[in-house]
Structure formats: structure tokens, C-alpha cells
Structure 1
Amino acid sequence: MDEEERHRAQEERHRAHLRAWWSHRQGLDGSLIGAAPADVLARTGWARSVGGSGPYLGLRARCGASREEVDGAVARLDIHELPSARGCAYVLPAVDFALGLTVGAHAPEAEARQAAKHLGVTSGELDDLCAAVHDALGDVPLDPARIKAATGGAVRALGPEGKKRGLGTTLPLALGLLQARGRIRRVPVSGRLDQQRYGYVVWDLDLGDRTPETARAELARRYFDWAAPASLAHFRWFSGLTAAAAKAAVAGLGLVDVGDGLLMPPGLLDDFEAFTAPADPSYALLAGVDGIHLLHRDFGRIVEPADAEGEFGGKRLGGLADAPAHMIVDRGRLVGLWEYDVGAEVVVWRVFGGGRRGKGDAALRAAVAATEAFVRDELGDARSFSLDSPRSREPRVAELRD
């Protein structure tokens, strides 16, 4: 073996070590089987929720939770979908409800400022509307139409200019502010995380005395426990912070650079250095927005260079920012893609690489069969996001079948 070959082999071992470690920290190695959904989210990170099957698939892969168990955790408020990092909806454990709302509060506040600037919606008008909405709500969920009726004339139409900005009335502004303040919460009508029909109830959650700065520092501690080793750029993507705010947030963590700008909390260093990548495959069928990818949103990190040259949907895999379909991962490496064909009630899938093409090995076929049964019998479908439909995914299904 010449020097160049040794260098390539060393890089390959390093990539495999990193990916397997991330997979281990994400609980995708079976280490969290039987754990409660709230404990899994606290340990591995918040689950991105876009009205799709991601939270169900992710929790099942990590702890084996059924849909009924996840829905039960939602009903008990062990976990809940809340606007949080970057103002985006994530499924959070109860221990992080207040933190998530605090770090996400900037989004509805910014929307209210824009409405004041461009649509003449004053802070006084919004305060009055927030009070009216809160008074109208109780323990029985009300949808926006019923809230509007219950608040009399407090909700104002914003006309054509408002519609151009995505705001037909002032009600969404009030709902966003009240959610961010923990005064109300949005409840899925069906009790399911993958169906976006909601009502609202009062909540009055105690958000504590966090300042924006202490909340960002707390988020940074959580993030690097979930995702390390990760770069400051990775944290900025997840948090939505500016470069200066991100540096301030991590300043007290004592992070150690383990190479290539990847940072690690000192308390994890010994475990990281002693960790050995498993020799046997450990397959998981996950949503494209699963945390194994989305905590960093650095798609090339989980794609092997040889696989990056392949194409899907007419685009080079290595040039994509996100997975073009649901993911099949093995020890942190993306090894294939999958979708669910509702009409045929089957998982349609493809794996990369010469040795894994075709039907895959027995462990992979078993993982596909188990996921297929879960989707068919418990979810009914595996939408990527709320507007994903059997018809819209037909091209992806057809390409995976080719």
C-alpha cells in the first residue's frame, strides 16, 4: 500500500468512526430501546416536525415506540410540538418546553414588528387581541374560526396588502405571540403529529427567568451534547443565531476542537476517543428530516464520496443540501433511500454501492419489512411533510423502483 492509499484508508476509517459515533449518540444503535419518548428526545435532540411522519419514524428507530405510545406521550404532555429553534416547529420533551419557546420567541415578535411597519397593526391592538383570545380559550380546543367568532370584533381583516404578506387577519399574529409566551398551546385535533389540523387551549406555562442570552447558552449546551462533534457553523444552522451570538452562546462550554473545526464538550472526549465503530450493520429507516442529518444539515457528512456521485431526481446526490427521499442509514452512513407506496402498501427502496445493490443483506431486508409493517398498520402513510401525498411522491417511488 503506497502513501496515497494509506491516506485514503485513514480518511475512510475516520469518517466511519465519526458517523458511527453520531449514530450512537443519536440512539440508532439500539442503546435506547425501551426508553420513554421524552427521555429519547432529551438525550438525542428535538425532532423536526413538518406535519410528516418524521417524529414517529425517528422515535421508533431509537426506542421502539409505537404510534400509540408516542400519541400517549403527546396527550400526557410528556412531549409536545412547539415553535422553537429558528421559530420552526419541533417535538420537544417537557423538560425543554420553556427553553424551546424562549429561543423561538424572536420569530413571532419579528412578524409583529413587520405587521406594525407595513400593515399598521399597533402593539396596543395586538395586546388587546391577545387578551381577548386568551379569555376565549379554555380546556376544550377551539380552531381559529371559532376563536375569531368568540372574540367578537377584536380580530381585524388586513385586506389585500395583508394577504400579499400571508396575513389575512390579525389573529395569526396573536396566536403566534401567545404560543411563544406559553399562554396557549396548539393541540392536534386527531392527537397525531402527522396531521396538521389544530385547535388551541389555554396553558399559562411558567417560562422561568431566562434571558435571551442565558437561553442561547443553554441551547448550546443541549446542542453539543446531542450533536458533537459539530462545528460552530452547524450550531448556527440549528439555532439560527448570528456568528457573534453563537460565539457568545458557546463561550462558557470549554469546547475542544477534535479536528476540522469540529467541537466537542470536554466531558465527552474520553468516550469519543475510546469508542469503536460496530463491525455489524445497524440499519434504520428514517425520515429525510431526521436529526442524524438535520442537527448539522451537512448532507455530505453522512454520504460516502463514492455514493455522492450517484443521482436522484436528475440531481447529483453529493450536491444536495437535504435527502431527496426518506433515508436508510447504517452506523450513521446514508446507504439508501425509501418511500412508501400507499396503493401497494409497501416500502419501495434502493441502496447504494456495488456490494449493497439489489435486495441488500438479511438485516436490511428485515429492517425494511419491519418499517413497512409499522407504516402500514400504525401510520397508514409515511409523508415527508404535511403537503406530501401519494400522488406527489409518485415520481420518487417510480425512480426507486427502477
Structure 2
Amino acid sequence: MTSLLDPARLRAWWAHRQGLDGSLLGVDAATVLARAGWARSVGGAAPYLGLFARAGLSRQQVDDAVAALEIHELPSARGCTYVLPAEDFALGLTVGADAPAGELSAAQKHLRVREAEIDALCAAVLGALDAADVPLDPAKIKDAVGGAVRNLGEAGKKRGVITTLPLALGLLQASGEIRRVPVNGRLDQQRYGYVRWHETQVTHGDPEVELARRYFAWAAPATLAHFRWFSGFTAAQAKAAVAPLGLVAVDGTNLLLPPDLADEFAAYRRPEEPQYALLAGIDGLHLLHRALPRLIDPADAQRPVPGAKEGRVFGGDLDPQCHIVVDRGRIVGFWEFDPSVGEVVHQLFVPMDAALKDVLARTETFVRDELGDARGFSLDSPKSRAPKIRAMREG
């Protein structure tokens, strides 16, 4: 019998729990995010690619869900932006609130920012948004609040905080009093306006426990260290958060499972047929654990990273430097999109077959016709990824 810890089986199980086996096809975006986990967003195509791979959702379906507030991009775990389902808005805001509070504390210590002036600025921002009938970008907010914003000079520039406005906006987002909306309704860019909101930070139960409960439903089996990476919690916080969950260890390891998944995990069998998907490098399949070697076959660990300096190998990276092709959880190739010719360019570790050819073609059509490009992050561009594309074409 195949060991529970057989790497190929574990990878397939993680892909199964992520809905990359077809089990989420046709499901709406909010349900996908609730079942597979929050989608990291950095101004690139990752949320669209992940929802397309799991549920076959079009860009318009995702954008409509954003417009209807069924899903939304919010600062949450570790203060980082994720796309969350509505049922998790309050939880995401709560667990992410320490980040803007920490930024204010640092500004008070190093830039002589006063709490009273930030309170006054927050009130001015809310007044400006209350009076506006359209979203206001930061420049328009600054114009509207006038002298309530203070320039922090060279000291602020060195610390990446040029004015007091980002401090106020961060606090107001974390409190649910305002929200950031994409100017054209799309998630794969970073031009935003702000509108008034009234999302209260009320969660059922301890928010740290609730985050742990969700995390292990999405990512188990996972270690406490994996959870600490995702949550940003201290060791003590993480141990306290998982204590009420009654997690069970996979024999002989520090991998943990919710008890209601233990029997399913034990009975799971890796599918015989390939289950391909094209994902962003920051997709939750990788990023929930951020332990890249678990998704790599040892035979692929020494593969050169496309477009990187000579000697850099895939297995030595913390994160994939390209978008990834996966089969039952194993990374079996790299890919990027070349908008100059409207093509997915790839470098595969496995032979091409009909199923893989079909997934490549469907994703290429989706990116070309609906997204226009598949940026990895906000500053990604065809020019910046040209070395990777060239290496893939030549490799």
C-alpha cells in the first residue's frame, strides 16, 4: 500500500484540497475562496488564473463578484492583500490590523507623527469620502483634506512614508471604514480609488483560532511553521490558535490535520490520470505553505531558472520565478504569456500529451482574450519578463 507520506500522494492530496482536480468546476468565486483559501493579490493575474483553473470562471464573472462585494481585495494575513469571500471580510481585516498599527507606531517613534494628527486626518478623509459620489484616489483625497496631510520630508522618504496620508488610509481600511476599489473593476492592476464603507470587525469566536481553523481546512496536512508563515503569528500565538482545534499529527511527522479530515486523508488515493493546471507562481497551492521543495520532484530540483543568472536552480528558490504548470500538485513546467504574439510560452518537465495541450490552449485563450496579459505582479511587464520568455523558447 502506498505510504501516507509518499511525496506524489501528498502533492495530489494538496491539489485535491485546493480544488485543482475539477471538483470546483462551475462553483462561484466566493465559494472557491472559502473552500480553497484566500488568493494572494499583488496587482497581477494570480486571482484570475487561480479561479479559472479551479472553477473555469471568466474574468467578467470574477469582476462581477468584486462589484457585488461577494469577494474583495483586502489587507489581511500579515497585513498583505488577499482576495477574500464576503464571509471572511471581518476576519481578514481583524487579523491584518496589526500591520497599519505597527506602521503608525514606527512613524510616531521615528518621524514624530502624533496620534492626534492622524486621528484628525482620518476624520477629514472620512468627511471627504462621505461628500464624494465617486471613488477618490489618493491625490484627490489629498486635495480634499488640504492641510490635514503633512509631508514627512527626507526622513519620511528614507522610511518609505512620504506623507501622513498612507498611515491614515491603512488604519481606516483595517477598521473597515473605507475600502479600496480598482478604478476599472479589475484585480490585475494597482490603480485604486477609495470609498466609504461600514464593515465592522466582528468575528464569531477568537479571530486567531478562526484563522487557524480555515488555514488547516485549506492547507492540511501542514506544520505549525507553515501556519506561522501564513498568519504572521508568533510561536506562542500560533500554538494558542491551534490548541482548540484538536489537530492530529500524521504518524511520524509534525504535519497536522483537522480530525474531520483524518479518515479522508487516510483513504485518499492519487488519481492515475494527469490533472493539469496553469497557475501563477504565487498561487495558494504553493504560497499557503511557502515550502517549494514539497511540490518539486527531486529530478527537477536542479533545473535552471529561466532567464536567471547562470547557476541558479529551481530547487534553490523560495518562490517560483515564473508561472507554473502543475499536475496533481507536482510542478511540471514553467510558463509565461507573451502579449506581443498572444501566446503562452512554456518549458515542460514532462512529455506533451493531449490533456496538457488542451489546458495550455484553454489558458492561452483565456489570458489573450479576457486578461490581455498575465502579469505576475504590478510591476511585471513584457519587457521585464523578456529574458524568461527567451530562455523558455530556447530551452
Asked whether the two chains share a fold, i.e. TM above 0.5, the reply is yes
Task: Give unpaired runs (5+ residues) of structure 2.
Answer: none
- From 358, 382, 385, give the equivalent of 1:393: 385
2:174 counterpart (165, 174, 180): 180
2:248 and 2:101 mapped to 1: Cα distance?
35
Match in the other structure for 1:164: 158
Matched residue, 1:342: 339
Structure 1's consecutive aligned runs of 4 or more residues displaced over 3 angstroms after TM superposition are 9-13
Give 1:318's aligned residue.
315
Residue 256 of structure 1 corresponds to which residue in structure 2?
A: 248
Q: Which residue of 1 aligns with 2:355?
A: 363
- State the Cα distance separating 1:10 from its structure 2 match: 5.9
Match of 2:286 in 1: 293
Please give the alpha-carbon distance, in whole angstroms, between the structure 2 residues aligned to 1:383 and 1:152: 36
For each residue in 1:46-73, what CA deviation from the matched residue of structure 2 results, as whole angstroms up to 9, or x when unmatched?
0000100000000000111000000000
1:19-78 deviation line (CA, Å, top 9, x unaligned): 111111100000010100000000000000010000000000011100000000000000
Structure 1 segment 218-297 matched on structure 2, within 5 A = 218-259=210-251, 260-297=253-290
1:136 aligned counterpart, secondary structure: helix
Query: Which of 134, 139, 155 matches 1:145?
Result: 139
SS of 1:97's equivalent?
helix
Decide whether aligned partners of structure 1 residues 401 and 128 sit closer, same or farther in structure 2, where only a CA change above 3 A counts: same
* 1:90 counterpart SS class: strand
The 2-side partners of 1:154 and 1:332 are apart by: 51
1:243-273 deviations in whole A, cap 9, x for unaligned? 1111111011111111421100000011111
Deviations 1:303-343 (A, max 9, x none): 01111122212311111111120000000100000000111
Per-residue deviation, 1:282: 0.6
Letter in 1 for 2:322: A
Whether the aligned pair in 1 keeps the contact of 2:335 and 2:347 (CA below 8 Å) is yes
The corresponding residue for 1:302 is: 295
Give the match's secondary structure for 1:230: coil
State the shift of 1:168 in Å: 1.1
Give the AA of the match of 1:236: R
> How does 1:126-141 map onto structure 2 within 5 Å?
126-138=118-130, 139-141=133-135
The partner residue of 2:96 within 84, 104, 107 is 104
Query: Which range moves more in the overlay, 11-20 or 101-110?
Result: 11-20
Asked if 1 retains the 8 angstrom alpha-carbon contact of 2:90 and 2:203, the reply is no
Distance of 1:155 and 1:183 partners within structure 2? 19
Shift of 1:152: 2.2
Whole-Å Cα distance in 1 between the matches of residues 134 and 202 of structure 2? Answer: 26
Give the Cα separation in 2 of the matches to 1:349 and 1:13: 30
Amino acid at match of 1:292: L
Q: Within 2, Cα distance between the matches of 1:186 and 1:49?
A: 13
Residue aligned with 1:391, SS: helix
SS in 1 for 2:33: helix
TM-score (norm 1): 0.94
Give TM-score, length-normalised by structure 2. Answer: 0.96
Q: 2:232 is aligned with what amino acid?
A: G
Corresponding residue of 1:207: 201
The letter for the 2-side match of 1:143 is D
Report Cα offsets for 1:64-114 as digits up to 9, x if no partner.
100000000000000000000000000000000000000000000000001
| Matches of 2:3 and 2:262, distance apart in 1 | 20
Contact 2:276 2:326 in 1 (8 A): yes
| Matches of 1:261 and 1:277, distance apart in 2 | 22
- 1:210 Cα offset (Å): 6.7
Alpha-carbon distance between aligned partners in 2 of 1:125 and 1:309, rounded to the nearest angstrom? 54
Aligned residues: 387
Structure 1 unpaired stretches of 5+: 1-8
Residue 14 of structure 1: aligned partner:
6
- Paired residue for 2:328, among 327, 331, 335? 331
Offset of residue 275 of structure 1: 1.1
Identity among equivalent pairs (%): 64
